[in-house]
Amino acid sequence: MVAHPRATSGVDRLRTLNQPRPVVVTIGPGGEPATIVERSAARRVIAIQERWRIAEEWWREPIARDYYRLLLDDGSVRTLYTDTIAGDWFAQNY
């Protein structure tokens, strides 16, 4: 059975998608991620495929992040960002 398309959804049915997960990152000599540890597994960074920066909403609560799309030693790709204000690292799935 399909719900009526104009039915209202309650707050109890909402959930955050793709919530960032904290990760531990070791920085290499060039200042870029060298290894990441998530879920108790360490992975070496083979290549940085892409980098970008987001800095916005300075008039409210500032957001400043450096994003990295990384190729890891097991062949997987991860998107990480560092909150450049707090210094914390997170994995973000899309």
pLDDT at 39: 82
Residue 7 lies in a domain: no
Residue 8 lies in a domain: no
Among left, alpha and beta (phi > 0; psi -120 to 50; other), residue 11 is: alpha
Residue 69 lies in a domain: yes
| Count of domains forming the chain | 1
Q: What is the mean pLDDT of residues 31-50?
A: 94
Residue 86 lies in a domain: yes
The pLDDT tens digits for 45-91 are 999 999 999 998 767 888 899 999 999 999 999 999 999 989 999 99
For residue 26, the enclosing domain spans 20-91
Q: Residue 42: which pLDDT band, with cuts at 50, 70 and 90?
A: very high
SS3 12: helix
Residue 15 lies in a domain: no
Q: What is the mean pLDDT of residues 25-52?
A: 94
| pLDDT, averaged across the chain | 86
